[in-house]
A = this chain, B = another copy of it.
Amino acid sequence: MRLSRYFLPILKENPREAEIVSHRLMLRAGMIRQQAAGSFSWLPLGKRVLDKVCQIIREEQDRAGALEILMPTIQSADLWIESGRYNDYGKEMLRIRDRQDRPMLYGPTNEEMVTDIFRAYVKSYKDLPLNLYHIQWKFRDEVRPRFGVMRSREFLMKDAYSFDLDYEGAKAAYNRMFVAYLRTFSRLGLKAIPMRADTGPIGGDLSHEFIILASTGESAVFCHKDFLDLPVPSADVDFSNDEEIAGIVEQWTKPYAATDEMHDEAAWAQVPEDKRLAARGIEVGHIFHFGTKYSKPMKATVMGPDGKEHFVSMGSYGIGPTRLAAAIIEASHDEAGIIWPEAVTPFEIALINMKAGDAECDRVCEQIYAALSASGREVLYDDTDQRPGAKFATADLIGLPWQVIVGPRGVAAGEVEVKSRATGERETLPIEAVANRFSVRR
């Protein structure tokens, strides 16, 4: 993409309304624009990141056997009356009446609707296990939306829902999502630690929040340092092997880890002092087993192998892609701007023409741009007539992993410079060597 034909509205000043670094950097890098309280447009650069985040989430949901659907944003109130949540859910639910005065709502979550889909079609245990997910906009009318897309009112959520004959099946389904989440966050370049979360009236221990460590995190967290070195399951993990999956979950739930809310001082005291990590964290995912909470009131049953009707045992599994885009920045930035992990960067390479209009610089840039694009690399070519200093600042701000810098002196010597955004390391390469340098994904 040529920057001269792109829409990248960089802000020079720090926006006053932004309280946290991700919000500030997303506004400054022209990734998002606030449209109303807790409501954001995703501009081209931001949209590319969001798409990559969603794609990784999707691939890992699919790998774990979940099936993608797409439920509407607006729901009839009827289903929520049936589950008993219509009155319980507070003012965070955006309630709407249509032209016929029918009560509707903007879905804050989809347990009711997906249970309705399930009960309409699935009648036998033979059709289980089943896990349906979608990536769809949600609306929660927060009193005080803030922190940009980290806590907005309209936000994107991947929510998956599992259906099983009994608790054992539901637990296996829960474990599969647990492992899928480990892989998802790892691929996103994040170190996420699963922490026991409150199960409320459901009871049991099948509820985990996935927390990434960031000094700007919303909550205090306490965990064993061993988490930092636990191996993340590889792509060929066998999701059809319940034992293998359970083993991974066991490994990842053994060391102590708790948010503020669930912190247990006695257990914490047993962690060797040099292994204690007290930090701040950001919740990026939540998985939850809730059994028959919705299947009972909504009469979602299947015939079991015993010939009897059973209420299905369910769980739900959420990740917020819009929130994640911000969380990744919280975890990966410096004074100069964002530092994108390779997996979600909007483009891979910033090609900087230090003297656009200079015939030689233009020629070399065009040659490199064509060669890199032909080998499938995503290049943002800064062909504008800005000064080099402004171009470097923009490249650092938007945080693409690699900068290829083409200036008149280098070109005269047949060379260009390659800079790593993360380390700041620079190398000088012959012009012809640039395409090869990036020919293989690292």
Contacts and interface: CB of A to CB of B under 8 A. Distances in A.
Q: Which of A6, A41, A50 counts the most B-chain CB atoms under 10 A from its CB?
A: A41
Given A33-B117, A94-B98, A74 B44 contact: no
A40 B72 contact: yes
A127 to B, nearest CB: 8
A69 B42 contact: yes
A113 B41 contact: yes
B139 A74 contact: yes
A75 B139 CA distance: 12
Given A73-B154, A130-B7, A116 B35 contact: yes
B42 A70 contact: yes
What is the interface residue range for chain A against chain B?
35 or more
Given A99-B141, A137-B137, A70 B94 contact: no
Interface string A390-421: 00000000000000000000000000000000
A206 interface: no
A71 B33 CA distance: 9
Given A7-B132, A40-B72, A74-B39, A143 B99 contact: yes
Contact of A70 (B5, B37, B47, B143): B47
Copies in the assembly, this chain = 2
Contact of A71 (B35, B71, B121): B35
B73 A44 contact: no
Nearest to A131: B7
Contacts of A154: 72-74
A219 to B, nearest CB: 24
A33 B50 CA distance: 28
A154 B136 CA distance: 13
A106 B47 contact: no
A36 B70 contact: no
Q: Which of A43, A50, A91 counts the most B-chain CB atoms under 10 A from its CB?
A: A43
